[in-house]
Amino acid sequence: MNKQILVTGAAGFIGYHLVKELILRGNDVIGLDNINDYYDVELKIGRLRELGISDKKIKYNQYINSEIFDFFKFIKIDLNDKENIKNLFSDSNIKIVINLAAQTGVRFSLVNPYAYTDSNISGFLNILENCRNYEIEHLVFASSSSVYGLNKMMPYSINANVDHPVSLYAATKKANELMAHSYSYLFNIPTTGLRFFTVYGEWGRSDMSYFIFTKSIYEGKALNVFNNGEMERDFTYVGDVVNGVIQVMDSPPQKNYQWANKPPESSSSIAPYKLYNLGNSKPIKLLDFIGEIEKSIGVKANINFLPMQPGDVVKTWADIAEFENDFDYKPATTIDIGIPKFIKWFKKIYNY
């Protein structure tokens, strides 16, 4: 059989874009998702349709071959389903795993914490166990800029302290990094973690701020903007993120034998393990980002300024020097390019 790539969270925002790019490049891909209802299920179904997967054929734990792409098939399984996840690995020739499946969202973790331990801890452990048992050549997994928490040293260095998360979501993402390192060290699994920074673009999640802002402007509703608008985010276009993930996928990390002979760093190890920030490295004021949305739509927003929310941070800013050095990576999409692409897609999908 051909070497296969497993992408978990394939019906998700980044997962959809990654799967599409991989199969366009001729890779043999298995997409996995549980299609939960954390946000609009129709959005997830729509992404799968774009990949040639009919929602009418989706049944739990049954493969569906794409009607568009020869090298893609999809299966609906929950990461917590130990037996069927094990069967998936044993029945396939999976050699690369890209784990994007997770319970996302900072604010939701304040009201439904168990969803995060179920998916991000127990589910990720199932992935690690099967990577161990089935000789996976490279595990790439999604972490998050949220791990930096109370750290205010800007830009965020990949080797900065991340011991003070301000949400359970962030805590589970740091736990993923620690769990992955232990498996990499104990079982010699090449493993790379990517800390994503505020990804936006077409087919984005409906719970994300830019999506909510856009919908509110079209519907004439006020935009709730927290911390009185004094927020900055390292907004990163999804196409740049996908290109970064693919570059990493093709380059499993090596053991850093000099690691123990210098001040310890969190981004590498004597295990075949590596961490990177994957962002734009150009923080944008939230009000400027909203301004680009207003410009693309041609309507001025009515903004309702509110205080800071629990679990949120004022600013994110990625130091991507290591990623640039190792992969000659350059984010190519500024918000004046990325936002109009998103607005064009939004108008088409929602008939505005």
* CA-closest candidate to residue 142, choices 122, 170, 118, 161: 170
- Rounded-to-10 torsion of CA 176, 178, 181, 183: -70
In Å, how far are 71, 121, 203, 238, 301 from 332, measured between CA atoms? 28, 33, 19, 11, 28
8-state DSSP, 137:
S
The token pair that represents 333 in the structure block? 């999409």
Residue 169 annotated to the active site: yes
- Whether residue 314 contacts residue 234, with contact meaning beta carbons closer than 8 Å, is answered with no
Name the 3-class secondary structure at 138.
strand
The token pair that represents 352 in the structure block? 């505005």
H-type helices in 40-123, by residue range? 41-50, 82-91, 114-116
The token pair that represents 93 in the structure block? 């020739």
Catalytic residue among 39, 169, 237, 273: 169
Phi, psi (degrees; rounded to nearest 5) at 199: -80, 135
Phi, psi (degrees; rounded to nearest 5) at 306: -130, 165
- Whether residue 198 contacts residue 232, with contact meaning beta carbons closer than 8 Å, is answered with no
Q: How far apart are CA 113 and CA 116, in angstroms?
A: 6
**Which residues are annotated as catalytic?**
169
